[in-house]
Structure 1
């Protein structure tokens, strides 16, 4: 954008916005459970638009995206405000060709994604995890709540819409209390990690190539920004 005579205004994250909770093994934050039950923070407190943000001009958008005000691709050779030729796809297109495309490794990305999702899926069927769920469920039953697993509680339709009730907050807090009592997070993670470690070994060559290309991509990006 600088080369084409513009300044790129990167979207700024709002100040003091808490990070979203990792829910791979269900909710874990007691204070959030007490306040919001099972609802994600971002759902209870959606981000507000920045009233001070200045919209991009059409000239800036053309340089950024390579598109005109009708959403059509601009003609080859179109000049920016300072007379420089706008590259195909604008600055986003050029960045994609320079920083992403040369380092693409679809097979590696697919392998990593499969391990991430399938590892979790396989852990759910593991006898050790089923035993952990049984212990957690028994703990919940002692508190007069009936759920087969933390995921069943978190995914309950009762807690996905409408106002947050006192019951939802109570169940969510009991959920976390029982997780702690049976050491669910640590024990489940150990099982899943072992499963994924085996899967990683089976795909070690393709994952090493993915890592190599990712490192090269980072190096290329740092070179561009001068760091």
Structure 2
């Protein structure tokens, strides 16, 4: 998932807040790939519905183990992921990011959608397995509100 959600109106119009995912035909039909796949990938379940054992740590851990077979483990293997998480946390408290979020919230409110931050809009509109017309409507406004004001005015004239 992209850290800051959607930016392209064309994506919002087709998928709402859902990711097209690896299953392109499912995305084209506005359905979300089976969430069990994510559980298998991450190892959140021990076996599949047809009884196949899921490797400890999931398929992601198994593939990682295969890729680094014979290579000494490095203590900082998750350093990049940790830095990504830390930077995301710091952005939330940055005054510049807070100002941008406030402007985005004001823009959304002008279209009748009241959200305190981008994730509130995303989370409240992508909880179902398939894309809804409400989700698409909110996502389209969201994508437009992320544009600079001059670009929004230009699009409104078109």
Question: What is the CA distance between 1:148 and its match in structure 2?
Answer: 0.9
- Whole-Å Cα distance in 1 between the matches of residues 149 and 3 of structure 2? 17
The answer for the alignment partner of 1:25 in structure 2 is 4
| Distance across 2 between alignment mates of 1:114 and 1:182 | 34
Q: Indicate the residue corresponding to 1:218 in structure 2.
A: none
Structure exhibiting the larger radius of gyration computed from Cα positions = 1
Aligned to 1:165: 132
Match status 1:143 vs 2:111: yes
Q: Secondary structure at the match of 2:113?
A: coil
TM-score norm. by structure 2 comes to 0.60
Contact 2:4-2:118 within 8 A present in 1 as well: yes
Under a length normalisation based on structure 1, what TM-score does the superposition of the two structures give?
0.44
The residue that corresponds to 2:38 in the other structure is none
Contact 2:5 2:17 in 1 (8 A): no
8 Å Cα contact 1:140-1:146 kept in structure 2 = yes
What is the DSSP-based 3-state SS (H/G/I as helix, E as strand, rest coil) of the residue aligned with 1:139? helix
Distance in 2 between the 1:119 and 1:151 partners? 16
Which ranges of structure 2 fall in alignment gaps of 5 or more residues? 28-32, 35-52, 54-61, 151-158
Change (3 A) 1:34 1:122: same
**Structure with larger RCO (C-alpha < 8 A, sep 6+):** 2
Cα RMSD (Å) = 2.9
